[in-house]
Structure 1
C-alpha cells in the first residue's frame, strides 16, 4: 500500500474523545461498559460543558463514521457524501459475500477504521471543491491520492473505483498536453490486466503508448512514461500471444509479437528488445518455422551476451537447443544444453540445472545411449535432493529409474547372449541380490573387453561423429 503523509487535520476535543470511545475503537467494548461510559459522558457534559448544544452532544455520542457524514453534509459536500455512502454500502456487501464464502470476512467494517474515513473525508471534499472551480488537475490529484492509499490486496476494488474516476476526469484536463490522460490510460490498463481482460488492457496501453510518443514525461519515481508504456505493451502482448498459441491461433500470435518487437525498439532498452525476440522465437518454434525461430533466438542470445546477462543467455541457449533438436541436429543441441548446465552451475541456478540435465537425459535416452542418459538424470535428481523440491524430486527420480533400468537391461542382454557359465553365474548372483548388476571385468577372449567399456567407447565415438538421424540402440 502506498504510504501517504499524515493528514493535516485538527480535531476538537470532543471528536478526539469520540474516536477513542465509540465504535471506531479497534477493540470491542461490552454493552455494560458502554452504558457506564454513557453515564460518565452525561455527567462530564453536565459539569464541564453546560452550554453545549444538542448537535454538539450528538456529535460526541455518534459514531465517527456518522460524524464524518454529518460534517460532509453540513459543509455542503453532497457529492462526497453520496460517493462515500455508496462505497460504504458496497464495502458491507462485499464483506457479507466474503463472510458467506468464508474468505477474508474478518476484515473490519469501514466504520471501525477511522484512518480510512479521514482520508475519504479529506480528499473527497477537496476533489469536490476543486471540481466546482473547474480545476480538474487538482480533482485528479486528490482522487489519485485516494487510489494510491487503497492500493493493497484487501481494498483493491476501492483503488479501481478511483482509477476509473481519474480516467473520466483526465479527459477534461487540457493544460498538460495529455500527460494525466496518458497516466490514466496506464492505470486503466493495469486494472483490466489484473482482471484478465487482456484485450481491454491492450487498448488502454496502446493509447498510453501513443500519448507518450516523442515525450520526455516521467512518473513520480523518475521513469520515462514512454518506456513504461512499451514494457506494459510487451507484457500484455506476450500474455495475449500465449492464449493465442494455446488456441492454435499461430498467425495472430506471431503478428502481435512482431508488433511488440517493433514497439520495444522505440524504448532503446536492449533487455526489453531481447525479451521480445525470445518470445517471438518461441512462437516461430511452435509453428515449426525453425530457421526464423533460430534468427530471433540468436538475436536474444547476442543481446544477452552484450549485456553480460548469464541467466538470459542460459534461457536463450535452452530455447536454441529445442529448435536444433526439432531439426534433428542433436549434437549441436547437446552442446547448447551443456552450456546451459555450466552457466546454471556457475550462477547457482538449481532449477535451470535440473531442467537442462533432464533435457539432456531425454535426448540420450531417446537415442538409446542409456549410460549417458542415466548420468544426466542422476545429476538432475541429486540437484532436486539438494534443494528439497519434492515434486521435482519425484519426477526426476522416475526419469532416473527408467534410465537405470534401460542401462541394466543392456548388461543383462549381453550376459544372456554370451551364454557361458561365468555369465550365467553373474545373472544368478544378481537375481539373488537384486541390486545394480555389474558387467564381468573379464569374461573371455571372445569379448575382448567389458561390456561397459564397449558401451562407453561406442558412445564417445558417436558423440564425436554426431548422432545419426534414426534411433540407435546400444545392444
Structure 2
C-alpha cells in the first residue's frame, strides 16, 4: 500500500505549464516560416530585370518615369547603331549597359530641365554625353550629342561654344576639314562675345584657334602636293595668324617652321630663312631640342640650295650635336646621313663613308630596320666609289705598274677585309680606301 501511495505521489499534481508554453511558441513560429518563404518570392519588376534585355529594361524605365522624348531618342539611336554596325565594327549598343544607362540618366535630366525652360542645363547634359562618347571612341554618338547641344541654343552659350570646339576637333580627325573649319570659326565668334572657358578651365577662344591652325595646315596639304605654292602659302599664313593669336609658343614655332619649308619649296630662300630663324628662336627659348634640330636641318637645306657648302655642313653638325646631347638617337642617325650625303656629293667618299657608318651604328642601337638598311646602302656605295676612283685611274693609265696593281688586286680581292677606318687590312691590297 505504501508502494502504491509513493507511485501516486510521483505523478505531478498540476498539469505541466512549460509544455503548453513550448507548444504556443511553436505555433507562433510557424507563421514566421511562411513569411521567410514569401520574402524569397521576387516582384514582377525584379523578374523583368532577368527576363528582358538591357535595351528593353532601359526603355521601359524611361517610359515609366515619363521621359517619352528621351525614350524616342534612345530608340532611334539604337536603330541607327543597328544599321551602321558593319561599318563601325563594334559591339551592339543595345548590349552595352553602361552606355545605355548613362544615356538614360542624362537624357532624362535634360528632358526634365527642358520642361522647366532651363536650357543651360539641357546643353550641359548633352555636352557631357558628347564628351563621354568621344572618350570611348564612339564618334558618331559624340557628334550626335554635340549637334543636339548646339541645336538647343543656336544663339550661343558656354556649353554650346565648347560643343563647337569639340566638333571641330572630331571633324578634323575624320578629315572633314570644311566642317571642322566652320565649327571652329563659330566657336571663336561665340567665345569672343562671351569670354567663356571650357570644362578644363582653358579659354575657348584660344582652344578654337589652336584647332583652326591645324585645320589650315591640313588644308594646305593638297595644294602643296599639287605644287600650288601660292594657295598653300595663303592657307599657311592664315594658320600662322591663328597660331600667334592662340598664345601658344610651341604652336607658333611649328607654324613658322612650316612656312619656312614651304617658302623653300617655292624658291623664295630669303623668306624661308626668315621664318626658319623665327622658329629657331622660339624653340631655343622653349628648350625644345627636337624642334631646334629640325630647324637646323631645314636651314642646312636652304644653305645647300644657295650652294653654301660650309654653312650647310655647319648647320648639320649643330643638328648632330643637339641630337647627341639630348639623346635624340633617331635624329642623330638622320644628321649623320645628311652629313654623309653632303660629302658624297662633293666626291669626298672616305669622309662620307665615315658618317654613313656612324649612322649605321646608331640605327643598329635603335633596331630601326628601315634606317639601318638605308645606311647600309650608303656605306656600300661610298666605299665602292672610293675603290673605283683608284681602280679607274689605273685602267686609264695602263702603265706596267698600274697593270700589276690591277692583277694583284684581282688576286687578293676575295681575301680582303675592310676595317672600320675604311682601309684594307690584307697585306697584298693595292687599293686603299682613302681619297687622293
TM bin (shorter chain): 0.7 to 0.9
Contact (CA 8 Å) 1:344, 1:352: kept in 2 or not?
yes
- Report the CA distance between 1:112 and its aligned residue: 3.0
- Report the CA distance between 1:181 and its aligned residue: 3.2
Query: Quick one: which of 227, 246, 253 aligns to 2:225?
Result: 246
- Report the CA distance between 1:172 and its aligned residue: 4.8
Contact (CA 8 Å) 1:144, 1:162: kept in 2 or not?
yes
After superposition, the CA RMSD in angstroms is: 3.0
Look up the match of 1:431.
413
Look up the match of 1:156.
139
Contact (CA 8 Å) 1:337, 1:356: kept in 2 or not?
yes
Task: Report whether the alignment pairs 1:92 with 2:82.
Answer: yes
In structure 1, distance between residues paired with 2:52 and 2:364: 62
- Report the CA distance between 1:268 and its aligned residue: 3.1
60 and 310 in structure 1: CA distance in 2 versus 1, 3 angstrom threshold: closer
Look up the match of 1:128.
111
Which structure has the greater CA radius of gyration? Answer: 2
Look up the match of 1:313.
292
Task: Report whether the alignment pairs 1:420 with 2:401.
Answer: yes
- Report the CA distance between 1:167 and its aligned residue: 2.0
Query: Quick one: which of 190, 206, 212 aligns to 1:211?
Result: 190
Contact (CA 8 Å) 2:146, 2:164: kept in 1 or not?
no
- Report the CA distance between 1:439 and its aligned residue: 7.4
SS in 2 for 1:151: helix
Contact (CA 8 Å) 2:293, 2:322: kept in 1 or not?
yes
RCO higher in structure (CA 8 A, sep ≥6): 1
Contact (CA 8 Å) 1:170, 1:184: kept in 2 or not?
no
Q: TM-score of the superposition, structure 1-length normalised?
A: 0.75
214 and 289 in structure 1: CA distance in 2 versus 1, 3 angstrom threshold: farther
Contact (CA 8 Å) 1:415, 1:427: kept in 2 or not?
no
SS in 2 for 1:73: helix
SS in 1 for 2:84: helix
Post-superposition Cα deviations, 1:217-271, rounded to whole Å, max 9, x if no partner, equal 3222222222212211111111111222012221111011112222322233322
Look up the match of 1:465.
none
247 and 439 in structure 1: CA distance in 2 versus 1, 3 angstrom threshold: same
Contact (CA 8 Å) 1:130, 1:138: kept in 2 or not?
yes
Look up the match of 2:321.
342
In structure 2, distance between residues paired with 1:62 and 1:301: 64
Look up the match of 1:298.
277
Look up the match of 1:117.
100
Contact (CA 8 Å) 2:124, 2:159: kept in 1 or not?
no
In structure 2, distance between residues paired with 1:187 and 1:440: 65
Task: Report whether the alignment pairs 1:137 with 2:116.
Answer: no
Contact (CA 8 Å) 1:423, 1:440: kept in 2 or not?
no
Larger helix share, 1 or 2: 2
Task: Report whether the alignment pairs 1:165 with 2:148.
Answer: yes
162 and 429 in structure 1: CA distance in 2 versus 1, 3 angstrom threshold: same
Q: TM-score of the superposition, structure 2-length normalised?
A: 0.81
Look up the match of 2:66.
76
Number of residue pairs matched by the alignment: 394
357 and 137 in structure 1: CA distance in 2 versus 1, 3 angstrom threshold: same
In structure 1, distance between residues paired with 2:221 and 2:233: 10
Post-superposition Cα deviations, 1:154-177, rounded to whole Å, max 9, x if no partner, equal 52321121112122123155xxxx
Q: Which runs of 5+ in 2 are unaligned?
A: 1-34
In structure 2, distance between residues paired with 1:428 and 1:55: 95
In structure 2, distance between residues paired with 1:124 and 1:51: 30
Q: Which runs of 5+ in 1 are unaligned?
A: 1-43, 444-449, 456-475
